[in-house]
Amino acid sequence: MKRMLQWGLSLYFVLVAGNVFAKENLSLNEGEVRVFPAILMISLLILFILVGVFSKAKDTEDYWAAGRGVGQLGGGMAIASNWMSAASYLGMAGLIYLKGYSAMAYIVGWTGGYVLLLVLMAGQIRRYGKYTAPDFVGDRYYSTAARLMSALIVILISFVYAVGQYKGIGMMFNWIFGINYELSVIIGTGVVLAYVLISGMLGATKNMQVQYVVIVITFFLPLFFIANKLGYFSAVPQIGYGAAVWDIGHGGNGISAAAADPSFYLPFANNTAYHWFALCITLMLGTAGLPHVIGRFYLVPRVSDARWQVVWGLFCIALVYWTAPCYAAFAKFSNIAGVTGVTISPDAIVVNAAELAGLPQWFSGFLAAGGVSAAFSTVGGLLMAGSSAFAHDIYFRVLKPNATEESKMKVARGGTIILGVAIAVIAMNPPAFIAQITAVAFALGANTFFPMFLLGIWWSRTTKEAAIVGMIVGMTVTFGSMLAPKTSLFAYYVPFTSSAILGVPLVLTTMIIVSLLTKEPSAEIKELLYRVHNDEA
Amino acid sequence: MEKDININFFKPVGEFMTRDVKMKRLIIAIWAVFTYGFLLLLKLVAEPESTVEVTLSTGEVITQVSGKSFLTETQFLGFPFHYWYSAQFLILLFIFLCWWYCKFIDKLEAEFSSK
């Protein structure tokens, strides 16, 4: 745990020293408590904690795998809310607002990955029947070292991912309560830890369903009014905003042709096709290699349910992803139309869009509260994944195989607290936009877990040496792309958000070569794989 | 298990896996063509005279096609067509592909469990 802290901290300082990331405006509200949004936010937090308390985890089995009894739609909603973080709710719209069509790679990347996940992994992983991603790695690659390394990577991914979420929580608390950003992060940390510790994952799963409903309602409702106010088709604003995109680029609805900004919709006005591709494929492969997403397939009793859960999950996600670009377009429209007097920050553009449209404050309050809910549900899942990697995969499987349920539980809780606090420290000084920080976590997942699962499931010749070397190469590429000077040619071709463009082909090649050079896995492993692929048992 | 069986995506063993893998390939092919084929298409049909200056992360400024073409200048449901395609149609297609695969594999499993 201590080592993990050191890792995170030194990584962070190197990043700051390298000045990889730009500074931006984090404070949107100085000292004013916004009454309705504050009441809404506090009621939601109380609701989440109550739901957690009433579905309290009984023992460790529950704490990790939620009793394996979650229905399809329920599971889909849990996948969706676990998945839709502040990056989906706040971050994506912010980047589309800034970069127009170039940022569409986030929308496509974060949905398209599910096709790969379903087709290549979901059923097989469920048939394999393990609790966590490191469990799979440890067994498939018959190696304690591989298990340990993958557990560390799980913790790292959770860590990076959660930093972006804390930033979202901090900015929204600042907007609602007027307390400064740093204090907002500290308070947010306290609340997240409280409910994860009280409830465990069973509570978290229930909570995720409640949070999904909150996310969808808060995200949809204000949009009808914004569209209506700006004069667009408001019955289905997800269609209505199309005309706004057109007007932003061509002029119309009060925007003169001279003021129009075609770079918002033209595909290659802000970036190259190569970078669109690199980012999109990184997010897709990362989706298929993210431990806390893969982990959700163990929660269902039957293989078929595991697969249908993906369909439902993707549908629940799509509702929000069809909606996010609306906020970017409407904010951009108001902006070009010359609305002033609103403090704008890209990562708060969803909230700003309602302010820019001149709606009463409680509309923005809805969005701010929804943004926090989105961040909470994801942080909950991440803290669980990170702490169970520590308690289950490192402590129980390696350090103390005869540990009692009680001591496992204690270690899991201790791990959650340390992880939660460490993330808060880093989030005090956020290194990039929310969606970008999150993309780094995906790049790490794509460069390490994706090749390991892909080859592990689909090529029985893959050896443990290959897995270990593969993880080292994958981490080197991910962190290398973050450390490379921003203006270097390497950083141009392998941006820190898109490092899987180099990482995945390199790791796959390395793993194949190393496998062929080392001793073949035993017949048992092959037999196991045969069963995973053939429904004969 | 009779003998040493090697699992390889490109050499499936057993009838179940063979049919499953065939379907997987089809789905992945559609997924790739519709996602990245479209990106390539946008680049290929772009009007060469409509160019923009883009500042790269290296500090270099390059001139490239903006991507303006009949795909971006046709209105569909109010959207520039390519924008609608990426923001809405692709997601719908992804859901459809997942649904299609689940239907297929459920049927395949039912067939094999009754054998």
Quote the pLDDT of residue A44.
Answer: 87
Tell me the shortest Cα–Cα distance from B22 to chain A, in angstroms. 11
Any idea which fold A2-443 has? Sodium/glucose cotransporter (1.20.1730)
Decide if A487 touches B, using CB distance below 8 A: yes
Q: Which of B27, B66, B84 sits opposite A119 (nearest CB)?
A: B27
Report yes or no: B79 at the A interface, CB cutoff 8 Å.
yes
* Token code pair at residue B59: 């500090």
- Which residues 362-401 in chain A show a CB within 8 A of chain B? none
Strand partners, B8: A459
Helices (H), A178-252: 181-230, 237-250
Tokens in use for A405?
């349920």
- Look at residue B57 and tell me if it is in a domain: yes
Q: Which residues of A touch B76 (CB under 8 A)?
A: 242
Confidence (pLDDT) at A17: 42
Query: Measuring CA to CA, how many Å separate B99 from each of A305, A319, A333, A453?
Result: 12, 16, 36, 23
On whether any CB of chain A is under 8 Å from the CB of B48, the answer is: no
Q: Which domain holds residue B50?
A: 15-113
Q: Is B95 on the interface with A (CB under 8 A)?
A: yes
Residues B8, A460: C-beta atoms closer than 8 Å: yes
Q: Could you tell me which residues are beta bridge partners of residue A459?
A: B8
**DSSP-assigned states of every residue in A451-507:** HHHHHHHHBTT--HHHHHHHHHHHHHHHHHHHHS-TTSHHHHHS-TT-THHHHHHHH
Give the nearest chain A residue to B58 (CA atoms): A487
SS (H, E, C) A5-46: HHHHHHHHHHHHHCCCCCCCCCCCCCCCCCHHHHHHHHHHHH
Pairing of strands B75-76, B51-55: unpaired
Q: Report d(CA A305, CA A310) in Å as an integer.
A: 9
pLDDT of residue B68: 87
Question: What is the tally of structural domains in chain B?
Answer: 1
What is the DSSP annotation of A43-75?
HHHHHHHHHHHHT---SHHHHHHGGG---HHHH
In a domain? residue B107: yes
> Half-sphere exposure of residue A293, counting CA atoms within 13 Å on the CB side?
33
> Looking at the domain assignment, is residue B9 inside a domain?
no
CB-defined contacts A:B, below 8 A = 194
B87 has a chain A CB within 8 A of its CB: yes
| Domain range list for chain A | 2-443
Q: Which residue of B has its CA nearest to A535?
A: B109
* Positions in chain B whose pLDDT score sits under 70: 1-4, 115
Contact state of A271 with B54 under an 8 Å Cβ cutoff: yes
Chain B partners within 8 Å of A533 (Cβ): 7, 12-14, 16-17, 20
> How far is the alpha carbon of A500 from chain B, nearest alpha carbon, in Å?
16
Contacts of B63 in chain A (CB under 8 A): none
Contact assignment for A242 to B84 by CB distance below 8 Å = yes
Mutate to test the interface with A, among B83, B96, B107 (most CBs of A within 10 A): B83
A 291-350: CB under 8 A from B:
303-304, 307-308, 310-311, 314-315, 318, 321-322, 325
Chain B residues near residue A119 by CB distance under 8 angstroms: 24, 27-28, 101
Yes or no, beta carbons of A104 and B75 under 8 Å apart? no
List C-alpha distances in Å: B42 to A41, A241, A265, A290, B82. 44, 22, 13, 30, 8
| pTM across the whole model | 0.89
Segments of chain A scoring below 70 in pLDDT: 1-25, 52-53, 55-71, 131, 195, 199-205, 298-301, 535-537
Residue A25 has a pLDDT of 66
Task: Report CB contact under 8 Å: A315, B95.
Answer: yes
Any chain A CB within 8 A of the CB of B65?
yes
Beta strands at B79-80 and B61-65: parallel, antiparallel or unpaired:
unpaired
Identify the pLDDT of residue A16.
45
Closest Cβ opposite residue B43 in set A119, A273, A314:
A273
How far, CA to CA in Å, does A403 sit from each of A59, A132, A211, A375, B25?
14, 18, 34, 33, 45
Q: Does A76 touch chain B (CB under 8 A)?
A: no
Task: Calculate Rg over the CA atoms of chain A.
Answer: 23
The mean predicted confidence, pLDDT, of chain A is 83
SS3 (DSSP) at B92: helix
| Nearest-Cα residue of chain A relative to residue B109 | A535
Q: Do B1 and A119 touch (CB under 8 A)?
A: no
Question: Tokens at residue A215, please?
Answer: 């996310």
Does B26 fall in a domain? yes
Answer whether residue B100 is part of any domain: yes
Q: B90 and A325: CB-CB below 8 Å?
A: no
Q: Do A115 and B14 touch (CB under 8 A)?
A: no
Hey, is the C-beta of B70 within 8 angstroms of any chain A C-beta?
no
* Residue B4 resides in a domain: no
Rounded-to-integer distance, Cα A344 and Cα A353, Å: 9
The two counts, helices (H) then strands (E), for chain A are 24, 0
Query: What is the model's pLDDT at position A341?
Result: 75
Instruction: Kindly report the number of other CB atoms within 10 A of residue A106's CB atom.
Output: 28
CB proximity A259 to B under 8 Å:
no
Q: Nearest CA to A316 among A164, A209, A445? A: A209
Question: Rounded to an integer, what distance in angstroms lies between the CA atom of residue A407 and that of residue A425?
Answer: 27
